[in-house]
Structure 1
Amino acid sequence: MSRAACFYIDGRWVEPASPTWFDVIDPATEAVVERLALGDARDVDRAVAAARKALPGFAQTSVADRIALLKRIVSIYERRQEAFAQAMRLEMGAPITFSRTFQVPRGWLHLNQLIDVLQHFAFEEAQGSTLIRHEPVGVCGLITPWNWPINQIVVKVGPALAAGCTMVLKPSEYSPLSSLLFAEVLDEAGVPAGVFNLVNGDGPGVGAALSSHPDIDMLSFTGSTRAGVLVAKSAADTVKRVAQELGGKSANILLDDVNLQDAVTRGVAACFTNSGQSCSIPTRMLIPRSLMDQAIQIARVAAEGYHVGATGDESTHLGPLVNRAQFRRVQAMIQNGIDEGAQLVTGGVGLPDGIQKGYYVKPTVFAYVSPHMSIAQEEIFGPVLSMIPYDSEAEAIAIANGTHYGLAAYVQSADQQRARQVARQLRAGSVHLNYPPADFAAPFGGVKRSGNGREWGEYGLREYLEVKSLVGYGT
């Protein structure tokens, strides 16, 4: 029986209680590549019971044992990296080069960072006569999205394991292949039975059952703001901890002293990361009005240089969007931009030239976008850049802060001190100065409607820990 027809519960691959079936479609070809069993509340109950039973024993394991477990997971994951790359190419349309170079390495980069954190983290620390203990929060429900499948699984499963928690994972039904592979890795690494459980399903069938379950102590969710609101409401009755990483509409402020060729070209590349299907990428480029026309020409050349094509072709830069619904939504958003009067620099509605099948979107750039337009306010989740002119630094900061989102922001300047001053005024969980390399120790998460809580590194570990005070311990 295919792994896709089973769930991983209590250390075994088991059949669902009464599955419904979901076609997993390769978005590049629109062909069905797998049939996935979707579960319901009965499967969640079984998985949560296994996690609850395993919790006391796993919570008492030593830090050394948990480090050793994470190292085994990294070793097995690295051995199977090509299988993961191909899985993410098929399930969500990541071009194979991008999948190998960016999607897959996130797994071991996050886990290795977590291992380093564990080697130095103080689970107990004295504060006067009180001993502060950091203990596992308990049984965790983990709900992950399709756009960075392994990255999002690892930044939840990894710290949960590191903290001594047990868990039930519901990955996106649109990207289940890599999560099934990851369950195999954890099984081979010797994760004790019941510590990690996987139940595939959709939001109403499995996600709601997880978020409302009375025996789940914490719910970690990554996805849309709309779905995050539903998760939080569902979790409220049981007063469980809820951590959420939601949508974004990140601004990229180019100050007037930048190397414009470099800043615009790299800004286009950042916006088109993962075919535009990333919540923290800079989708709003803020340009000094006096430099706007020059920036438009640079952006046009950069965007038109992207090769859109087959995901198995190593020269492909941009793959398809994940599914038909997302394709239609992005097409509608592009049409909105045209209807609202933004200048279409390149791209537009319809399939790219030479492509007849698949959920592909033309690399699209809009210029002279007004901050109130839908393409400047709403998360699009496709390769669509909005270029917004500004007349003063204060106006740029106001525009950047002028959305409901606050996940990330970007600042480019030839003067690092000036970039820092602007960054301090931006309302976002992360601000990236002058296109820095990724820092896997830096906390990742948002403010406003981009969510709450943090992932990555030590801050990610702390989300899965409860603080206990032993008062009078030192007297």
Structure 2
Amino acid sequence: MSDIDRTPPKVHLHINGERLEAGAGGFYDHISPVTGQVDAQIPLADKQEVDAAVDAAHQAYQSWRKVAPAARRAMLHKLADLLDENAVEFARLGALDNGTPVTIGTPFAATCSEWTRYYAGWADKIQGDLTGNPVCDGELGYTLAQPYGVVGIIITWNGPLISLAMKIPAAVAAGNTVVVKPSELTPFAGELFMDLVEEAGFPPGVINLLPGTAEAGAQLVTHPLVKKVSFTGGPVTATRILQSCAETMKPAVLELGGKSANIVFDDADLDSACAIATTFSLSLLTGQGCAYATRLLVQDTVHDEVVARVKAIAESIAIGDPFDPAVFTGPVVNEAALTRILGVIEKAEADGATLITGGERIGGELADGYYIQPTVFTDVDPDSDLAQNEVFGPVLAIFKFSTEEEALAIANNTRYGLSSYVQTKDLNRATRLAAELDAGETLVNGAQNLKIGRPFGGFGLSGMGKEGGRQGIEEFLRVKAVGIAMSV
């Protein structure tokens, strides 16, 4: 057993630079996914705290939008430095939040600091365009790229720190202020993040964070002073958000789920392809990631070899206590997730898929936690529930194909369109598929996921809008056109 401190920090509602120990929403019993026991009580905001936070953010916006871009840049760089300095503590908090192993929690913090630095660099590069020539048109025309005002941010539980880093730095670099509602399932990383926001010198009210009830989330979305919504989560909640936003034509950026295809051709580097296929579906975050390649499409000539390799890798995954530095995979987030995923596995077997490995809850010394064996199916019907619906757990479905056209048809047979993956040494083939795959991104031969300078966001049921790259800051800017008639 690791000797890392397992004491959760005290969680607060962070409104206008103040820390509130309680809210009108009562308290939530946080249950450790490792032990199945309550380890902390989380204060929850209700409508009145959301109103207070939005009002504070609106007041802060009046001055924040006029802060020199270089000053916003400096604060973000300071925040990035602090994220780096606290990487080990963020890893500890990730293990407490949702069972993310400390082994991968530390590099996750480094990724978050890089997202913060990237958007710090954009703060002083926001500019408009010249649209009219006074000599030829008799008019001086130009555009202004301006912040919206208060942005309401709602994030989910699987990667709370990276979700904060993907949204907040871009929003505040553009001159907006934010009110963030994190999931009550994962409150601890946000608590430290807000400590660092204060230490970095952000004025009160610029960044507010408050776990809250479902009613609090609805209040944040519909509040008239919230001018845009940024949401990470599932399509059911996203639909309700869009319905609420439609009443006032409020814009929203939605980063939702995925059912990503990973296409392995017979000329691929199978060592790399099989490692990627298994790690990014069964091991990393215990399969609880929206962009993970949970559908593995394998060319028939190497199908049996790939299945054997994936099975061997899956059965070698080190599963256990997330505080143990030797462990790479922890539990799923809670008992509800455990029950749901086991139900998916049972349904897949009933539908005729062949279980290659896994499929059960892990017992023994891990029996009190929410641990599931890494699970692999073959002979999966492309139209089955397992093929069509996001599992958000350590379950991989393998399909066989013969031709490039067949692989493309299977890959695009989904309502989702977040990510796609191709493994081949034929770059002509890779670029052909990248153009035809109906997904927001295509990553070839192990290209890095969530590369900061590249826009991330899906099509279809995977959402709308982008995070990352230039497009990521443009999501938090609206364009105003100006025309000035010039005297001749």
TM-score range, shorter chain: over 0.9
Q: 1:474 to 1:53 in 2, by over 3 A?
A: farther
What letter corresponds to residue 129 of structure 2 in structure 1? E
Q: 1:161 to 1:147 in 2, by over 3 A?
A: same
1:38 and 2:44 are equivalent in the alignment: yes
1:107 and 2:103 are equivalent in the alignment: no
Matched-pair contact (CA < 8 Å) for 1:25–1:91: no
TM alignment of 1:392-407, pairs within 5 A: 392-407=403-418
What letter corresponds to residue 468 of structure 1 in structure 2? K
Q: 1:197 to 1:3 in 2, by over 3 A?
A: farther
Q: More displaced, 430-439 or 122-131? A: 122-131
Aligned residue among 246, 258, 275 for 1:236: 246
Aligned residue among 329, 350, 360 for 2:371: 360
Matched-pair contact (CA < 8 Å) for 2:83–2:109: no
1:391 and 2:397 are equivalent in the alignment: no
Per-residue displacement from partner, 1:204-245 (whole Å, max 9, x unpaired)? 221111111111100100001111111111222222111100
1:468 and 2:473 are equivalent in the alignment: no
**Alignment correspondent of 1:225:** 235
Aligned residue among 280, 294, 310 for 2:305: 294
Matched-pair contact (CA < 8 Å) for 2:83–2:110: no
- Displacement of 1:434 in angstroms is 0.9
**Alignment correspondent of 1:371:** 382
Unmatched 5+ residue regions in structure 2? Answer: 1-7, 133-139
- Displacement of 1:135 in angstroms is 0.5
Matched-pair contact (CA < 8 Å) for 2:112–2:162: yes
TM alignment of 1:278-427, pairs within 5 A: 278-351=289-362, 355-427=366-438
What letter corresponds to residue 239 of structure 1 in structure 2? M
What letter corresponds to residue 106 of structure 1 in structure 2? T
Per-residue displacement from partner, 1:257-307 (whole Å, max 9, x unpaired)? 213343123211121221101000100000112322221111111111101
**Alignment correspondent of 2:131:** 127
What letter corresponds to residue 63 of structure 1 in structure 2? P
Unmatched 5+ residue regions in structure 1? Answer: none
Other structure's SS at 2:117 match: helix
Distance 1:473 1:219 in 2: 36
Matched-pair contact (CA < 8 Å) for 1:346–1:365: yes
What letter corresponds to residue 467 of structure 2 in structure 1? E
What letter corresponds to residue 124 of structure 1 in structure 2? G
Aligned residue among 105, 121, 134 for 1:116: 121
Other structure's SS at 1:471 match: strand
Matched-pair contact (CA < 8 Å) for 1:420–1:433: no
The normalised TM-score by structure 1 is 0.96
Other structure's SS at 2:145 match: strand
- Displacement of 1:416 in angstroms is 1.5
Matched-pair contact (CA < 8 Å) for 2:59–2:205: yes
Other structure's SS at 2:436 match: coil
Matched-pair contact (CA < 8 Å) for 2:123–2:173: yes
Other structure's SS at 1:22 match: strand
Aligned residue among 124, 133, 150 for 1:139: 150
Aligned residue among 62, 82, 93 for 2:88: 82
Per-residue displacement from partner, 1:135-193 (whole Å, max 9, x unpaired)? 00111100011111110011111111101101110001111110111111111111111
- Displacement of 1:6 in angstroms is 3.0
TM alignment of 1:49-88, pairs within 5 A: 49-88=55-94
Other structure's SS at 2:27 match: strand
Q: 1:22 to 1:122 in 2, by over 3 A?
A: closer
What letter corresponds to residue 330 of structure 1 in structure 2? I
**Alignment correspondent of 1:245:** 255
Matched-pair contact (CA < 8 Å) for 1:27–1:93: yes
- Displacement of 1:425 in angstroms is 0.2
Distance 1:110 1:352 in 2: 39
Matched-pair contact (CA < 8 Å) for 1:335–1:349: no
Identity of aligned residues (%): 34
**Alignment correspondent of 2:455:** 443
Other structure's SS at 2:168 match: helix
Matched-pair contact (CA < 8 Å) for 1:140–1:216: yes
Per-residue displacement from partner, 1:406-438 (whole Å, max 9, x unpaired)? 000001111112111111100111110111134
- Displacement of 1:44 in angstroms is 0.6
Distance 1:141 1:311 in 2: 32
Per-residue displacement from partner, 1:5-31 (whole Å, max 9, x unpaired)? 531111111354524110112201112
Q: 1:5 to 1:432 in 2, by over 3 A?
A: closer
The normalised TM-score by structure 2 is 0.93
Q: 1:97 to 1:66 in 2, by over 3 A?
A: same
Q: Alignment length, in residue pairs? A: 471
Aligned residue among 27, 44, 53 for 1:47: 53
**Alignment correspondent of 2:135:** none
Query: What RMSD over aligned residues (CA atoms) do the two structures have, in Å?
Result: 1.6
What letter corresponds to residue 240 of structure 1 in structure 2? K
Other structure's SS at 1:218 match: strand
**Alignment correspondent of 1:159:** 170
- Displacement of 1:57 in angstroms is 0.7
